[in-house]
Structure 1
Amino acid sequence: MSSSLCNYGALALECSATLSQPTLARDQAAELAGHVAADLARLLPGVEQLDLGVAAAAFDPAELLRPGWPLHATLAELVERAPGRGMARVLGFGSHEGEMPRGLTPDPVLREGPLRLVPFVLQGEADAVVAVGREMEEVLLETGMAQAATALYAQQAFGTPLEHVRYLSLNDLLAMTAMQYEHAGIGPLWPLIETALLTPEREEWLDAPPEPLLHWNQGEARIALMDLPLWSEAGFAPRGIDAERISQAYEHFQMRQRQFAAVLGSHAIPLRFDHCGSGQDPRRAVAD
């Protein structure tokens, strides 16, 4: 492996319908990569010194935001191994006989969202990568709209009307996802996800009743599964709730646990369930 560095980013496709074609063939991948290269050359001075690798497939944001950034890391490996090193290359990785390169296939379970992301990496010598990375953070979110030719080609290739097509850095994507989760009512879970992604060596708690109890530590999230008596005794039941409504509130709590577990699963964050019964301390159960 060389000592080259990488910047990670994505071409964001805001869709008005589910993509009919989530992956592109190799020739389409090469053409899309050419469009991306032209756009980035307009937006980011110095980017022409770097290798560009584009995975010609459309992913859910959660597939990019996973511990270790596996999609981008796989793409960077493919760029590293591609022939022609020593010159700035524009590389599009698409499907052959319907199969994407290993590790670059979108999850069909996550294909319904309105925002789809085409990952790219910029790879090269450290000084150039750092300089371009700084430009990415300063300009992409504000002025990173794709050119009309790129948007039209992406719309035709993926077979779906697109409302907006723009470029994002990985940090832009993190900030956008945090905001979307807040609007969707799952904002309390974001600090734990962010810790798992950015500072996995740290601990993080979600301990804010009536929300589920979660603890991130040593590379996994743990969630306390409480029976109804413990849930009430440990202070997770809404205050002042009457006996007639307590079962319904407990069912809502369990639904919230399943929702949080599903979100963590979409980010491939390891999750362990700790079953707790009456008389146990749920916080100690997920901390030990």
Structure 2
Amino acid sequence: MQSPDARLFQAFTQARGVLALELSPGSTIAHEALQQADAGRLAGLVGRDVGTLVPEASELDLVFAAAHFDPAEVLRPGWPLHRRLDELHQRAPKAGHGPRVIAFGADRDGQIPQPLRAEDELRGGSLRVLPFLFAGEAAVAGAAAERMETLLMDRGMAQADTALCAQEAFGARIEHARYLTVHDLAAMTALQYHNLGLDALWRVVEAALLTPDREAVLDAAPEPLLRYADGEARIALFSPDAWRRRYMPESEDDATRLERRFELFQARQRQFAAVLQAHGIDVTFAHCDEAGEL
């Protein structure tokens, strides 16, 4: 599976990535975010690990979210989690000279501020990701981003003490802990969607990530018909008769089988809508006839 289009990389002015935690089967995470002491300790280890592989990163500020998310919450148009980290970085006070390690997590009362709070309905997955970015002088950040792209997918395993720190601090059994760029994460998600038979839908998600101002259309029977434009996906709703004329061969006339296939088609529409919404894409269902005008 190829990495996403280079336009995704070119849109960034920082080196952006995630610490990906693959949970052991049956494991859950006890804490949604770390308090400051643990957040700072884990962030320092992340900076050390990435800096060992990518020396340029050691010259940049590390901004780290000590809270875990579903990959779909990272892979959203406008990259809201990393954009929020950038905003927090801009507001962080400067003390002394040299690169800073800035970690955000739960407050002293254990409350998690809204920008770092994962969505409830997306908390059950076995892969959780902690966003980070390296920011600083543009040329250095660009060099760090380029090197991260070439190294992290193959060599980005977290060191043992980093994985152990994450495991103890979050209260979870972690099978693997590794670093990925956002492009790596997108490529892994594309492969997962391929295995789930969602290749066509991933192309719409990717279009929303890479070229959100352009239109993307999915019109490949027997899949649902949808159009992405202006930040919204419109999924075509068909009456049973319109669906039959558009999707089914004229030779199919078994009423029970047609009814069952139409129910499966509607379930596929709901699946598409749920995936798009997980990626932060608004979905509208629009009635249309078999001509498919949306």
Matched residue, 1:19: 29
Q: Aligned to 2:215, which of 203, 222, 232?
A: 203
Query: Aligned to 2:14, what secondary structure does the other structure show?
Result: strand
Query: Aligned to 2:223, what secondary structure does the other structure show?
Result: coil
Matched AA of 1:119? P
Cα offset for 1:187?
1.8
Segment drifting more, 61-70 vs 183-192 = 183-192
Q: Aligned to 1:41, which of 51, 56, 61?
A: 51
Measured against aligned partners, the alpha-carbon deviations of 1:259-285 in whole angstroms (never above 9, x if no partner) come to 000001111101111023xxx34521x
CA distance in 1, matches of 2:204, 2:13: 27
Matched residue, 1:143: 155
The structure-2 alpha-carbon separation of the partners of 1:210 and 1:81, relative to structure 1 and needing over 3 Å to count, comes to same
Higher relative contact order (CA 8 A, sep 6+): 2
Segment drifting more, 83-92 vs 59-68 = 83-92
Q: Aligned to 1:230, which of 219, 237, 242?
A: 242
Structure 2 matches for 1:49-198, cutoff 5 A? 49-84=59-94, 87-96=98-107, 97-198=109-210
8 Å Cα contact 1:25/1:94 also seen in 2:
yes
Matched residue, 2:9: none
Instruction: Give the alignment's Cα RMSD to 1 decimal.
Output: 1.5
Matched AA of 1:10? V
The structure-2 alpha-carbon separation of the partners of 1:197 and 1:238, relative to structure 1 and needing over 3 Å to count, comes to farther
**TM-score normalised over the length of structure 2:** 0.91
Matched residue, 2:13: 5
8 Å Cα contact 1:210/1:238 also seen in 2:
no
CA distance in 1, matches of 2:257, 2:118: 42
8 Å Cα contact 1:209/1:237 also seen in 2:
no
CA distance in 2, matches of 1:99, 1:190: 34
8 Å Cα contact 1:221/1:269 also seen in 2:
yes
8 Å Cα contact 1:5/1:125 also seen in 2:
no
CA distance in 2, matches of 1:238, 1:106: 45
Matched residue, 2:3: none
**TM-score normalised over the length of structure 1:** 0.93
Measured against aligned partners, the alpha-carbon deviations of 1:21-72 in whole angstroms (never above 9, x if no partner) come to 1211111111110110110111102111100011001100000011101011
Query: Aligned to 1:113, what secondary structure does the other structure show?
Result: coil
Gaps of 5+ in 1: none
CA distance in 2, matches of 1:134, 1:239: 54
Cα offset for 1:90?
0.5
8 Å Cα contact 2:243/2:290 also seen in 1:
no
Cα offset for 1:238?
6.2
Gaps of 5+ in 2: 1-11
8 Å Cα contact 2:238/2:290 also seen in 1:
no
CA distance in 1, matches of 2:253, 2:77: 42
The structure-2 alpha-carbon separation of the partners of 1:125 and 1:258, relative to structure 1 and needing over 3 Å to count, comes to same
Cα offset for 1:220?
1.2
8 Å Cα contact 1:28/1:94 also seen in 2:
no
Between the aligned residues of both structures, percent identity stands at: 49
The structure-2 alpha-carbon separation of the partners of 1:281 and 1:159, relative to structure 1 and needing over 3 Å to count, comes to same
8 Å Cα contact 1:93/1:101 also seen in 2:
no
Matched AA of 1:140? L
